Chain A
Amino acid sequence: MSDKSKSIASKKTSGQDERLKEVSKLRLLLNRPELGAVGGAILVFIFFGIVAGDTGMFSAYGTLNFLDVSANLGIIAIAAAMLMIGGEFDLSIGSMIGFAGICIAIPAIYWGWPLWVSIIFAFAMAVLVGYFNGILVVRTGLPSFIVTLAMLFILRGATLAITRLITGRTQVPGLRVLIENDPIAWMFATDTFKWLFTWLGSMNLIALRTDGTPLATGIPPSVIWFIAATLFATWILMKTRYGNWIFASGGDKNGATNVGVPVGRVKISLFIGTAVAATIFATIQVLDAGSADTMRGNLKELEAIAAAVVGGCLLTGGYGSAIGAAFGALIFGTVSMGIFYTDVDTDWFKVFLGAMMLIAVVFNNYIRKRVTESK
Chain B
Amino acid sequence: MLENLIEFNNISKFFGKVIALKDVTMKLKKGEIMCLLGDNGAGKSTLIKTLAGVHKPDEGEIVIEGKKTVFDSPKDALDMGIGTVYQDLALVPLMSVTRNFFMGREPLKGLPFFKTFDIEKANQIAAEKMGQIGIDVRDPSQAVGTMSGGERQCLAISRAIYFGAKVLVLDEPTSALGVHQASMVLKYVVKAASQGLAVILITHNVHHAYPVGNSFTVLNRGKSLGTFNKKDISREELLGMMAGGEELDKLEVELEEMNRINN
Residue of A nearest to B119 (CB): A5
B115 touches A241 (CB 8 A): yes
Q: Check A19 for interface membership: any CB of B closer than 8 A.
A: yes
Min CB gap B239→A, angstroms? 32
Question: Which parts of B57-113 form the interface with A (CB within 8 Å)?
Answer: 74-75, 78, 86, 88-95, 98-99, 102-106, 108
Q: In the bound complex, how far is the Cα of B103 from the Cα of A258, in angstroms?
A: 10
Min CB gap A282→B, angstroms? 29
Q: In the bound complex, how far is the Cα of B94 from the Cα of A282, in angstroms?
A: 34
Report chain A residues within 8 Å CB of B94: 247, 251, 314, 318-319, 368, 371-372
Report chain B residues within 8 Å CB of A318: 92, 94-95
Question: Which parts of A160-175 form the interface with B (CB within 8 Å)?
Answer: none
Q: In the bound complex, how far is the Cα of B142 from the Cα of A6, in angstroms?
A: 9
Contacts A13-B127, A20-B138, A20-B139 given; indicate if A256 touches B104 (C-beta within 8 A).
Answer: yes
Q: In the bound complex, how far is the Cα of B127 from the Cα of A8, in angstroms?
A: 10
Main secondary structure of the interface of B (DSSP, over half): loop
Report chain A residues within 8 Å CB of B88: 252, 254-255
Q: Check A248 for interface membership: any CB of B closer than 8 A.
A: yes
A261 touches B104 (CB 8 A): yes
Q: Check B257 for interface membership: any CB of A closer than 8 A.
A: no
B105 touches A259 (CB 8 A): yes
A207-244 interface mask toward B, CB cutoff 8 Å, 1 = contact, 0 = none?
Answer: 00000000000000000000000000000000111011
Q: Check B131 for interface membership: any CB of A closer than 8 A.
A: yes
- Classify chain A's interface size: 35 or more
A255 touches B139 (CB 8 A): no
Question: Which parts of A309-344 form the interface with B (CB within 8 Å)?
Answer: 314, 318-319
Question: Which parts of A1-39 form the interface with B (CB within 8 Å)?
Answer: 1-2, 5-6, 8-9, 12-13, 16-17, 19-20, 23, 31
A23 touches B139 (CB 8 A): yes
* Count of chain B residues with a beta carbon within 8 Å of a chain A beta carbon: 41
A255 touches B90 (CB 8 A): yes
B146 touches A374 (CB 8 A): yes
Contacts A8-B120, A20-B138, A244-B99 given; indicate if A258 touches B93 (C-beta within 8 A).
Answer: no
Report chain A residues within 8 Å CB of B89: 255
A9 touches B146 (CB 8 A): no
Min CB gap B13→A, angstroms? 20
A247 touches B99 (CB 8 A): yes
A240 touches B116 (CB 8 A): yes
Contacts A9-B139, A256-B103 given; indicate if A373 touches B95 (C-beta within 8 A).
Answer: no
Report chain B residues within 8 Å CB of A6: 139, 141
Contacts A5-B119, A256-B103, A375-B147 given; indicate if A241 touches B124 (C-beta within 8 A).
Answer: no
18 contacts between A and B (CB under 8 A): A5-B119, A6-B141, A9-B127, A9-B138, A9-B141, A12-B123, A17-B138, A20-B139, A240-B117, A241-B117, A244-B103, A247-B99, A251-B93, A254-B90, A256-B103, A260-B75, A318-B95, A375-B146
